[in-house]
Amino acid sequence: MTTEYVPGTCNIGAGEIRQRRAVALIGFILFISSTIALFAIDAPRTSRLGLFFPLVVTSIGWVQSRKKFCLAYGFMGTFNFGKIGQLSRVQDKDAKRADRITALSILFQAVLYATLATVAIYLLPTSL
C-alpha cells in the first residue's frame, strides 16, 4: 500500500480509505433498504429514479477507496496520510492539475455507475 502522496494517483492513507469504504457501505445500505421499501409499497416506477442518490454516494465511496484517491482533496489541492482531517497542501501546479484530472475521472465513473444501476432498477418489472 502506498503511504505517500503520488500526484494524480494516491492522495489518502489507510484511515481515509476506511472512511471511504464506510461511506460506500452506508450508501449501499440506504440503496438496498430504499429499493425494498419501494417494491414493498408498490411505488410508481418513477420513484425508483430517486435511488440514484444513494447509488452516487455508494459509487463515490467505492471508487475513491479502490483508487486510494479522494476526489474532494483532489479538487482542493490537498492530501492526507496522517490522522483523519489532518490535510497537507499540494504545492506543485502540475501535481494539482493531475489531481484535478483524477478527481474528475472519479466523479465521472461514480456518476456513470450510479446511472447504470438506476436504469437497471428502473427497468425491473413492477411486481417481482
What CA–CA distance (Å, rounded) separates 128 from 119?
Answer: 17
Cell of 69: 484517491
Decide if 53 contacts 27 (C-beta within 8 A): no
Greatest alpha-carbon span in the chain: 55
Residue 88 phi/psi, 5-degree rounding, is: -120, 150
Residue with grid cell 483523519, as numbered in its chain = 84
Q: Amino acid identity, residue 15?
A: G
pTM for the whole thing? 0.90
Give the residue among 16, 23, 18 at the shortest CA–CA distance from 58. Answer: 23
The amino acid at residue 41 is I
CA gap 80, 125 in Å, rounded: 45
**Could you identify the residue written with the cell 419501494?**
38
Residue pLDDT tens, the chain, 128 long = 667 999 999 999 999 999 999 999 999 999 999 999 999 999 999 999 999 999 999 999 999 999 999 999 999 999 999 898 889 999 999 999 999 999 999 999 999 999 999 999 999 987 65
Distances (CA, A) of 29 to 3, 24, 68, 73, 79: 30, 9, 22, 25, 28
